[in-house]
Structure 1
Amino acid sequence: MRAVAVLFALASQLALASCGSSGPDNAPQIPLTSFSTPINLTNQEYAELRRDNGSAYVKGGVRGLIVVRQNSSTYHAFERNCPYRANDTCARVKIDPSLLFLKDACCGSQFDLQGRVQGGPTVLPLRQYSTSLSGSILTITN
C-alpha cells in the first residue's frame, strides 16, 4: 500500500512539472503592453480598411498590429507577434499577398482574418485587441 502511495506522489509531481513545461505554446508568452492607438480611416495609408476584408499594418502592441475590416462597423486588431515561440526575433505575422489570410513565415503558422489558427505549429490564436469606431477614427486599445 505504501508503494502505491509513493508511486502516486511521484506521478503527481511529474504531472505538475509538465504543467510548467516550456513547450512552444506554453511559454514564453507575448508580453502585455498598454496602449491606445487612434487611426484616421480617411488617411491614404489605411485605404485598404475602406473595404470588407481589407487589412493594414498599424504601429502599436508589441511587434505592431494588423487591423482587418470585417464590415463598415466591425474591425479586428491583432498583435503581429506570433504566439508560437513568441520570443523568436522572426516571430512576426504578415498579411499574405493573397490578402486571404495572415502568416508567420518564421514558423509557418497561418491564421484566418479573424485571427484563428488555420495551420502550422501554433495552437493559439493571434492576440486580439479592442477596437472602437467613432466617425472615421478607429481606436485600438489594450
Structure 2
Amino acid sequence: MMRIWSIVLIIFLLSCDSDPTNRNPFLQEIGFQFDINLNLPLYSPLTNVGNAVYIGTEGVGIRGVFVINVGFDQFRAFEANCPNHAPDSCSTMEMEGQTAICPCNDFEYSLFTGQQLNRPDDGNRYFDMLEYRASFNGTTVIISN
C-alpha cells in the first residue's frame, strides 16, 4: 500500500509546472474571430509569400493584428500592440516590410516568428509578440483567439 502512495506522490510532483505563468502582463487576451477574404484588393498582398498586412478593424485584437503569409498556405497573425508596453497612445506598432516596430521604445519584432529582434541584455524579462490562431481555407484566412 505504501508503494502505491509513493508512486502516486511521485507522479503528482512530476506533473507540477515549475513556471507558473508565461502570460504577458501588458496584454489582456481577448476573444475574437475575423475572416480575411484574399480575393479583396485590401488583402490581396497576402496571396504572396512574405507579404504582410495590418488589420486595424475594431474588435480584432487589442490594437489590431498583423497577418503574414509564411508560405505553403500557412499564415501567422500577431497582436499589433507592443508586447513590452501597456496599451496607450504610442503602443500600436508600425509595419516595415516583415518587421513590426514599437514607436514607444524602438523594439523590433519579426512578423515571421513574432520574436523580438533587438532584445536588450539588461537582465529584464521581455516578451515576444502575442500570436493568434490563423487557419487557411481556400481563399479565406481565419484569425481568432
- TM-score range with shorter-chain normalisation? 0.7 to 0.9
Q: How many positions carry a matched residue from both structures?
A: 115
Match of 1:129 in 2: 132
Helix, strand or coil at the partner of 1:139: strand
Which residue of structure 2 aligns with residue 111 of structure 1?
109
Unaligned residue ranges in structure 1 (runs of 5+): 1-25
Structure with higher helix content: 1
State which drifts further: 99-108 or 30-39: 99-108
Is this contact kept in 1: 2:77–2:134, CA < 8 A?
yes
1:90-105 alignment, distance < 5 Å? 90-96=90-96, 99-105=97-103
1:45 Cα deviation after fit: 0.3
Query: TM-score scaled by structure 1?
Result: 0.74
Alpha-carbon displacement from aligned partner over 1:60-89 (angstroms, at most 9, x marks no partner): 101000001101411000000111122332
Gaps spanning 5+ residues in structure 2: where?
A: 1-22
User: Does residue 74 of structure 2 align to residue 74 of structure 1?
Assistant: yes
| Percent pairwise identity | 26
CA deviation after TM superposition for structure 1 residue 103, in Å: 0.8
Distance in 2 (alpha carbons) for counterparts of 1:102 and 1:61? 15
Amino acid at match of 2:141: L
CA distance in 1, matches of 2:109, 2:82: 10
- Cα deviation for residue 94 of structure 1 reads 1.6
Q: Which residue in 1 is equivalent to 2:142?
A: 139
Q: 2:39 is matched with which residue?
A: 42
- Give the AA of the match of 2:70: Q
Output the aligned Cα RMSD: 1.8
How far, CA to CA, are the matches of 1:57 and 1:80 in structure 2? 8
The letter for the 1-side match of 2:35 is P
Contact 1:79 1:127 in 2 (8 A): yes
Name the CA distance, whole Å, in 2 between partners of 1:70 and 1:37. Answer: 19
| Deviation of 1:112 (Å) | 1.1
Q: Give the equivalent residue in structure 1 for 2:10.
A: none
> Per the alignment, in what secondary structure is the counterpart of residue 90 of structure 2?
coil
SS in 2 for 1:49: helix
> Normalization by structure 2: what TM-score?
0.73
CA distance in 1, matches of 2:25, 2:88: 10
C-alpha distance in 1 between matches for 2:62 and 2:129: 12
